[in-house]
Structures are given as structure tokens and as C-alpha cells.
Structure 1
Amino acid sequence: MSNYRRNWVAGGCYFFTVNLMDRRRSLLTDHIDLLRDSVRRIRRLHPFHIDAWVVLPDHMHCIWTLPDDTDDYAIRWRLIKLLFSKGLPKNERLPAVRRRRSERGIWQRRYWEHTILTAEDYARHVDYIHANPLKHGHVARAQDWPYSSFHRYVEQGVLPPNWCGDTDDLTTAPD
């Protein structure tokens, strides 16, 4: 079994990329209310601050800041994935290994995590998140994608409504 290195920082700020196992499916946007409810329920049990988030049909990116007394983002992701999966009908194709382990075929097992350490790194990742629907060709303007914290940034006066980002420079995170 692989030993993945994770950076555990109590109260840390992290960027995440989480993917569906089958990247051709659009479960995340098709079932956005289930995803939102799953996140809400887990935040009540295991608090964290959502700094930025975008949900695309097959993957999502977000930045979380954890409470000062914890570094355990893994339990939060495990439970969000579990609640979301339990709310979906069981109609996905399962590889033999997942059938043997009684697993669902919804999520990739791993996720990408990056510890945010500087204000510049934070700003670059927020821009990456908000420009991601443009990068993938879903919309021509960030304001047209409904599943993004971009709208909160506009409401708070942090970004103008016509901000669209420069997708050529936003290669800091994998998709």
C-alpha cells in the first residue's frame, strides 16, 4: 500500500481538489443539493471555514481553514464523500476490487491537498478556483457559473461582477 505524505497543520489553510471516479459523469452538479447538505452536516460535526469553493460536474476545488485545535481534514472529506454517496442511487459500474471491498464507485480514493502558506499562494488558489469553470469551457464569465464562491466574493466587494480571471496563468493546481 502506498504511503501518501500529507501536511498536517492545526488551524491550517488548505487547497483541495476532489474528483469523481468517473470523470465523464456530472454527479456533483446534478446532485448539488445533496452535496451542499452533506457539507453542511459535516461542518456542524467537524467545523471548518470555507474560504473558496467551486463545484464542477466531475470535480471540485476548495480552500478550507481548520479550527486552531485540529489538523484533521481527512475525516471531514471521508464523511462528506460518505454522506454524498449514501444519498445517490446505486447504479454506478464497479471495478472488481471495489465490489470485493463493498465500496461505491463514486469518488476517486485520493484527493489533492496543498497547504497554503502565504498570502500570494492563497490569492493564486482563490483565483484558480473562481476561474476553473472558464478553464473547462463551462462558461465565458465567472459570474455565469452558479456553483462557486465567486458570488460571495462579489457580494462582499472583494471582486467585481465582471471579473473573469486569466486562465492562462492559473496552472497551480491539477485537474
Structure 2
Amino acid sequence: MPCSSPRSRDLRANRYSASNQLYLLTSVVHDRVPLFSDWRVGRLVVDAFRLAETEGAAHSLAWVVMPDHFHWLIELQNGTLSTLMRRAKSRSAHSVNRMLGRRGPVWQMGYHDRALRSDEDIKSVARYIVANPLRAGLVERIGDYPLWDVGWEF
């Protein structure tokens, strides 16, 4: 009997979204092009995060926009993860393409999500997120990187 492996889009077809659940979300730029090396372009992704918060879709706890991907720690408020990510990626892609005078995809299809367990140390997850630029060798101190935020001091 032939073994068929599921495609990545099929693996997430029935993903579950729960209001008030904490999620770590990650999305990658199409072909890993470092579009957000220019912090002004990366701010367009931040604008999409803030709009999601203003609309009541999610509460942002921490995020970092790296040159070719982002990590976003949220508490889902209203709607589903799929809707939240579709809107954030669509809005940011439209803005990025307009700013750069380009066409075509900005994001790879799909995204990665991980629901955090109630016993996980949320501050540790947030520290991991905002330390990405350090681990990547982009800066020597977290405060030197322009595209991150966290909802509390640590």
C-alpha cells in the first residue's frame, strides 16, 4: 500500500482557535527575501499588528520583525487565528508592495502557530522572541534593534 504524506496546508486544515488562548505565531517572507532589513518597511508589519489590536482581534504580548520573518506572541481575542493572520499578512503585504513599488507575494503561504500551555513561563517566551536579533548577530544589545516590543519590562 503506498504511503502518502500530507501536504503542509493539509496539516493545518482543521486548526483550532480559542479566545483568550496565548499563541506564538511565526510567518516567513516569500523566498526568505530580507524585505525588512530596512526598519521602515518592517514598521508596516508592526502597523498590521497594531491594527489587529485596535480591532480587538488580538492582544500583542511581544513581537519581533526580523529581516525575513516575524514572531508574534498574542492572546487571541475575537475571531480565529486564520482570520487574524490572513488580515495581518494581507494588510502588511499590500503596504510593503506599495512602499517598495513592487508586485507579487510578500509572505510564504501559511504560518506556524503554537498554543502556549498555562504552565509555560510567558516572560521566557517573550524573552526568546525579542532576543532573536541578538542570536542572529544583527545587534549587540536588544535595545539596538528597532523592530521589537514586549508588553512589560523584563
TM-score bracket relative to the smaller structure: 0.7 to 0.9
3-state SS, counterpart of residue 120 of structure 1: coil
1:172 maps to: none
Q: Which has the higher strand share?
A: 2
Normalised by the length of structure 2, the TM-score is 0.78
**Alpha-carbon distance in 1 for matches of 2:47, 2:79:** 23
Kindly tell me the number of residue pairs found equivalent between the two proteins: 141
Instruction: Please tell me whether residue 24 in structure 1 is matched to residue 30 in structure 2.
Output: no
- 1:52–1:64 CA contact under 8 A, matched in 2: yes
Query: Which residue of the partner structure matches residue 114 of structure 2?
Result: 114
TM-score normalized by the length of structure 1: 0.69
The CA deviation string for residues 53-79 of structure 1, in whole angstroms up to 9 with x for no partner, is 111111111110022xx4512111111
Which structure: greater helix fraction? 2
Quote how far apart the aligned CAs of 1:147 are: 1.2
Q: Once the 2 structures are TM-superposed, how far is the Cα of residue 137 of structure 1 from its aligned partner?
A: 0.8
Instruction: Report deviation, 1:84.
Output: 1.4
Cα distance change of structure 1 residues 31 and 115 upon mapping to structure 2, 3 Å threshold: same
Alignment of 1:139-158 (within 5 A): 139-150=139-150, 153=152, 158=153
Match of 2:3 in 1: none
**1:8 match: secondary structure:** coil
After superposition, residues 51-70 of structure 1 pair within 5 angstroms as 51-67=61-77, 70=78
Deviation at 1:51, TM superposition (A): 0.6
Question: What displacement does 1:46 show?
Answer: 4.1
Task: Say what the alpha-carbon RMSD is for the aligned residues.
Answer: 2.3
Task: Compute the displacement of 1:30 (Å).
Answer: 4.1
CA contact (8 A) 1:19 1:58 kept: yes
Letter of the 2:134 counterpart: L
Which secondary structure does the structure 1 equivalent of 2:18 belong to?
coil
User: Which aligned segments of 4 or more residues in structure 1 are displaced greater than 4 angstroms?
Assistant: none
Question: What are structure 1's unaligned runs of at least 5 residues?
Answer: 93-103, 160-175
Partners of 1:130 and 1:76 lie apart in 2 by: 21
Give the CA deviation at 1:119: 4.0
